[in-house]
Amino acid sequence: MNDGVTDGGREERVARNELAFRRANESLLTVFEAAPGEEAYPFLCECGDRRCTEVVYVPLDTYAAVRAHPQRFLILPGHKQLDSERVVGAADGHEVVEKSGVAGAIARAGWAQLSR
């Protein structure tokens, strides 16, 4: 899904899309924590494609490990969007990407807002 374009406008747009998916997943997390019992829970793919509606299944501890890093996002394999992000983890059915540059700064700012 990466087209090789890294202009700042596209990076900003993709980063803001990813933050929207992260916020939705944080809402899902509160529901899952209230009713534990599954091995893997459904979270939205946090890739930057605003049309993506695919689901990533991970245990809560895996999701928490991703969230512990403000510049990391949970995606499906092959959903990496930007040259400024790199895959820092992968397991069966998901990848974790870490943002840098403009997208990383936006991710850190969005994470700070969620943490309040």
Query: Most confidently modeled of 2-16, 32-46, 69-83, 102-116?
Result: 69-83
SS3 assignment, position 69: coil
Domain boundaries, the chain: 8-114
Q: State the pLDDT at residue 93.
A: 93
Distances (CA, A) of 50 to 16, 44, 88: 9, 11, 22
pTM of the predicted model over 0.85: no
pLDDT band at residue 87 under the 50/70/90 scheme: very high
Residue 42 confidence (pLDDT) above 80: yes
How far is 111 from 57, CA to CA, in rounded Å?
Answer: 22
Q: Across residues 76-103, what is the average pLDDT? A: 91
Q: Distance between CA 60 and CA 108 in Å, rounded? A: 22
On whether the CB atoms of residues 43 and 28 are closer than 8 A, the answer is yes
* Tokens describing residue 79: 């959903």
- Rounded CA-CA distance 51/64 in Å is 25
Give tens-digit pLDDT for 5-28. Answer: 446 688 888 888 888 888 888 888
